[in-house]
Amino acid sequence: QQPVQSPQAVILREGEDAVINCSSSKALYSVHWYRQKHGEAPVFLMILLKGGEQKGHEKISASFNEKKQQSSLYLTASQLSYSGTYFCGTESANYGQNFVFGPGTRLSVLP
């Protein structure tokens, strides 16, 4: 079942912060975050595992609330290059099953 993302879209000025949320109705093993620019393939940003482990870029932070099956991606001091569509992808607690992406959050950073 597809995770839910919010907001659907957000517009920021350079230097502002944003939070993108992802929630699932299924028990999750991991949450992955990707950014996709128009006409390009998704690019990996962050993985969060059940149990608290994380792997990702230094300038990107995220959280994973296992009880609520929710994850949030924190973008601080946004740059023009942060513009794109952000997708969360989820794997269920039975890891190794199929990978489901959310509908995306479109982020636009203006100068």
Q: Does residue 104 touch other proteins according to CB under 8 A?
A: yes
Piece of 13-21, 44-52, 63-71, 74-82 that binds other proteins (CB under 8 A): 44-52
Interface residue with other proteins, options 2, 25, 65, 76 (CB under 8 A): 2
Closer of 44 and 74 to other proteins (Cβ): 44
> Which residues does 69 contact at the CB level (< 8 Å), separation at least 6?
23, 24, 25, 26, 27, 28
* DSSP annotation of 3: P
Cis peptide leading into 7, omega within 30 of 0?
yes
Closer of 64 and 82 to other proteins (Cβ): 64
